[in-house]
Chains A and B, each alone.
Chain A
Amino acid sequence: MIRLVCMLALMIVSAANARAQTFADSPLTIDLAQDHVDITMGFNGADLVLFGTRRGAGDVAVVIRGPEVPAVVRRKGQVMGIWMNMRAITFRNVPAYYDLALSGNEADFAAPEALRDNRIGLNTLDFRPDTRLDRTVVESFQEALIRNRQLQGYFPLEPRRINFLSNDFFRADFRVPPNVPTGDYLVQTYLIREGAVVDRRETRLRVAQVGFNAKVYSFSRDHGFAYGIAGVLLAVIAGWGAYAFSRRD
């Protein structure tokens, strides 16, 4: 009995040791210059910088994923000359925001399976549609969704470049647009050797309104009625004030 306990203890301790060793030996290390994007009154987009080191050779890919949300894509058709929305497909698990930085060319970056398994690249994202329509139709809707998101700045038009400051030290620069969706983001970094992912690291990023903006937002959600009254009062005071002011001419 005691021997069993001692053996178990030994196994646990050596396993813990091994883990500690892999952490120190890990080829990839990353950190964000700032792990939150604060949206203030004068927010007009923000720069996001990720630093990292890699031990040994290999390509690096950094992916920024926003929270997953449903998206509805509608296609217009003509009815008696008027263009109106006819068919709609809802896609689940669409990232509200997606951005990508690679240390090499996208074309031959890694084996397609590696890219697909890790969802690196816009064409590897699998949006689940809520319909059993023909595959080609769904694809055209999906392409339209990606196109639409790209136009609005939520998806990248092409991957960014990772800068290597020395043989092992790199940085990835991103820029988020003013209309960046709020929420908890995931920043995932992959190390690729000979077409396969050998290491991955993950860190969190929080995009949220702060200060006055945040107070207004929570006031509007938690106390909708009072907020409405406040809006009306604001308008009444302004209207009355302007009238009183003009009367003094």
Chain B
Amino acid sequence: MQIYLPIAEMAVPVESILVLGTVVGFLSGVFGVGGGFLMTPFLIFMGLPPAIAVGTQANQLVAGSLSGVLGHWKRGNVDFKLGGVMLAGSVIGSVVGVVLFKMLQYIGQIDFVIPVLYVVLLGTMGAMMFFESLMVLIRSKGKPASDEKPSLLTKPFFQALPYKMRFPRSRLYVSALVPATIGFVGGLLVSIMGIGGGFLLVPAMIYILGMPTLLVAGTSLFQILLTTVITTIMHATANHTVDLVLAALLIVGGVVGVQIGVRVARRITGAWARVALATLLLLISFQLAGQLFIRPADLYTATVW
């Protein structure tokens, strides 16, 4: 059954959109990632203009991340103070990102930059997470499993940064600049790539901040929630690229998927979950990288205003 999207000005099959939304919501609940890194490329692949895929995706992420945050909050797994500091950074990041997006569209390099960003980010994060989780798993075979991760915060560079704050729930004492910068990059990614940024936030929280794993998913969802609210409003006001009909369909699938995911999340132990996520990131990264190096079927592309 086809439905016509008023802003995108094209018809799409309802079933595919619903399934896509559910799968992405599930990933969101399990890993604390937005799932946008699957959704946005898929929407673009279906023929949606990239600007509308990015803007509408931000809207969908609001629903999924809220639903997940509430679940984690109930279990006391969200550090609001830390999330708030990151938010300060991500607001600035979002604004910069929206401006950059328009510029890239104008010079016609948007469909080169976005895949490259995906490849670099997903590849790096995926590889790092993969090897680190493997080490933990291998080591834990011999001795009792301990969820220890090396934290970058112990390095002198981070210790010397100003504006230190206490974050009681995560048991951290760190410069506010660190989470703020992490938030800035997150905001940038949301508005340029149409992703939640979770796959960057989650490793950053684990390896740079050294947060307890249990708090990571909930806090990252909290951060994604606030960032995507702001990005949705900005894209709608500045670019008029949010399609509410598409967003409604994606949301329906997404909230269902997230609730399933949050339940499943409690049964998976930290290291194995990270291995699974890392593998997924690497697969997507290789796929996108491959496409960059393969000669396209038609060297020419045409865009009409």
Contact = CB atoms under 8 A, between A and B. Distances in A.
A40 B4 contact: yes
A167 B10 CA distance: 40
Contact size range, A = 35 or more
Contacts of B117: none
Contacts of B66: 235-236, 239-240, 243
A179 B305 contact: no
A241 interface: yes
Contacts of A148: 298, 300-302
B237 A228 contact: yes
Interface string A76-92: 11100111110010000
B70 A240 contact: yes
B9 A182 contact: yes
A234 B109 CA distance: 33
Nearest to A88: B108
Contacts of B259: 242-243, 245-246
A212 B6 CA distance: 9
A40 to B, nearest CB: 7
Nearest to A228: B236
B232 A231 contact: yes
A182 B8 CA distance: 12
Given A214-B6, A238-B255, A75 B234 contact: no
Contacts of A76: 296, 299-301
Contact of A239 (B11, B67, B116, B233): B67
Interface residues of B, number: 59
A84 B299 contact: no
Contacts of B234: 228
A245 B260 CA distance: 12
A235 B240 contact: no
Contacts of B303: 71-72, 74
Contact of B65 (A212, A217, A239): A239
Given A73-B301, A178-B4, A85 B242 contact: no
A216 B7 contact: yes
A53 interface: no
Nearest to A225: B237
Interface string B224-237: 00000100111111
Interface string A201-243: 0000000010011101100110011011111101110111111
Contacts of A220: 6-7, 236, 240, 242, 244
Contacts of A236: 62-63, 66
A74 B301 contact: yes
Contact of A144 (B10, B109, B298): B298
Interface stretch (A12-20, A41-49, A102-110, A158-166): A41-49
A100 to B, nearest CB: 19
A40 B64 CA distance: 29
A218 to B, nearest CB: 9
B302 A85 contact: no
A83 B240 CA distance: 30
A243 B67 contact: yes
Contacts of A84: 109, 112
B256 interface: yes
Interface in B38-63: 47, 59-60, 62-63
B232 to A, nearest CB: 5
Contacts of B244: 216, 220, 227, 230-231, 234
A243 B255 CA distance: 8
Contacts of A43: 2, 4, 11
Closest 9 CB pairs of A and B: A228-B236, A239-B66, A144-B300, A242-B255, A235-B62, A228-B233, A235-B63, A178-B11, A148-B302
15 contacts: A71-B302, A73-B302, A75-B299, A144-B299, A145-B300, A148-B302, A209-B4, A213-B4, A227-B236, A231-B232, A232-B59, A234-B251, A239-B63, A242-B259, A243-B70
Given A230-B244, A240-B67, 4 more contacts: A144-B298, A148-B301, A214-B6, A240-B66
